[in-house]
Amino acid sequence: MEASAPGSAGKVEAGWRPGHQPGVHPAAGAGAGLAGYVGGVFRSLATRVVPKIGREVPARPGDVPRVVESVRFLVLVLVLVTVPLSTPQPGSGFRGSLVAVTLALSAIAWLVWMLAGHMDRVVVPALVVMGAAGGVLAGISWRSPAVAVGCVVTASAGARLETEASLAILAETVAAFLIAGIATGAPAGTLAGYSAAFIGLWAFGLTRRAYVLRAEQAEEALEQARRAHNAETHAAALAERARIAREIHDVLAHSLGAVSVNLQAAEGLLSSLPEQGPELTKAIECVERAGAFTREGLAEARRAILALRDTDTGESAPVRSLAEQLRALTDEYRADGDAAVDYKVTGDPRPVSAEAGLTAFRTAQEALTNARKHAPGQPVSVTLRFGPAETAVRVVNPLSPDGTAGPLTHTGAGYGLTGLRERAALSGGTLIAGPADGQWTVCLTMPA
């Protein structure tokens, strides 16, 4: 008996169509047969009964397990073997010739029905021929298992076709059987019993079809519920990002803004002092640099907030290449301190992804900050290398010569390198940081 429900094709194909998600294959009608839960039941049955030989071939939704195909073939062989052994035998007189013709038509239509699979243009005519030929064969050779042909036809038609089409095939099969049985003098009990068997198996097929359709509808409802849940989850994630953006704006941006205002006030007070010695000039320069850092941090905070809010203002700032960003960073570091900074680019520069570029920039930024904290005044070397399969950023600075900690050594939370390693892992790269040969080296390598 067929497990597919091609009658549902119009409803499924014309309306909602599920996406390709693992584990969920809603039904696609006649072209695809069963799917999802129903198809999984038959596929699991097939994998338990039939051993896997050679390369595994993915099963299509609604494919009939091999064990069912084997049973169908065995039933056909049984009919072909037993019917000729009963009376009338094929070829003996008019009734024998009619048995031979109907048996041959039934066998051919049976094989076509088995091999047609999901092709309704072939399946329906095959069932029609099987119903007519099988009904006549059962009416003439009612003492043999020829009735199996009519039973298979009516059950398969009820399970696979629309009610009207399956009812027509049932009527055809019963009418052919009754006409042939009455003409050959079959007992009334046989006529009534076989007809009742045909009708009962057709009703069983209808029940199975209804179950299949309900399973398909449940699968569609499940997929729609999953989509609704995914949409709710996405909306909740966007709301959480907006909340985080508000927190960053309130806590960080406002604080940086207040610091910037106070630094400007301090700069104005220091500039108004009557005695402008070298120490005071140096202090004013430090305040100016701190104000510049604060304004830059405020600008970065605003960019982070815009990214969290996923806001597209229609305005795009010019994007600098990674080499230009690192050059600007080293220039700022060189201008803000007394340490010498050597920056060079090797290889053929090429564009990198936004995530990889941000990871490289943050790594160089953290490495330069650590060099100022732990080895103040020591020269720093920054190298950006474009290799054939990777992009690397290397920052090297000598360790403090006397081994003493600088005044800023214990500032910060101590999670800078940990955060960089996490960034590198998210970008598919690796970060190596540590002392070697009297130098501290930070090396980030990312795939090209």
Does the structure show a pLDDT above 60 at 187? yes
423 or 22: whose pLDDT is higher?
423
Does the structure show a pLDDT above 80 at 399? yes
Does the structure show a pLDDT above 90 at 179? yes
Does the structure show a pLDDT above 90 at 92? no
Q: Which domains does the chain have, with CATH numbers?
A: 1-64 (no CATH), 322-447 (3.30.565.10)
Q: What is the mean pLDDT of residues 156-179?
A: 92
The Cα-based distances of 361 to 153, 214, 320, 366 in angstroms read: 72, 57, 12, 9
Does the structure show a pLDDT above 50 at 413? no
112 or 307: whose pLDDT is higher?
112
In the prediction, which pLDDT does 229 show?
92
Q: What is the mean pLDDT of residues 241-259?
A: 73
pTM of the complete model: 0.45
Residue % of the chain over a pLDDT of 70:
77
In the prediction, which pLDDT does 342 show?
92
Does the structure show a pLDDT above 50 at 217? yes
pLDDT band at 291 (very low <50, low <70, confident <90, very high): confident
How confident is the model over 238-249, as pLDDT tens digits?
A: 888 777 777 776
Q: What is the mean pLDDT of residues 74-88?
A: 88
Does the structure show a pLDDT above 50 at 215? yes
In the prediction, which pLDDT does 37 show?
42
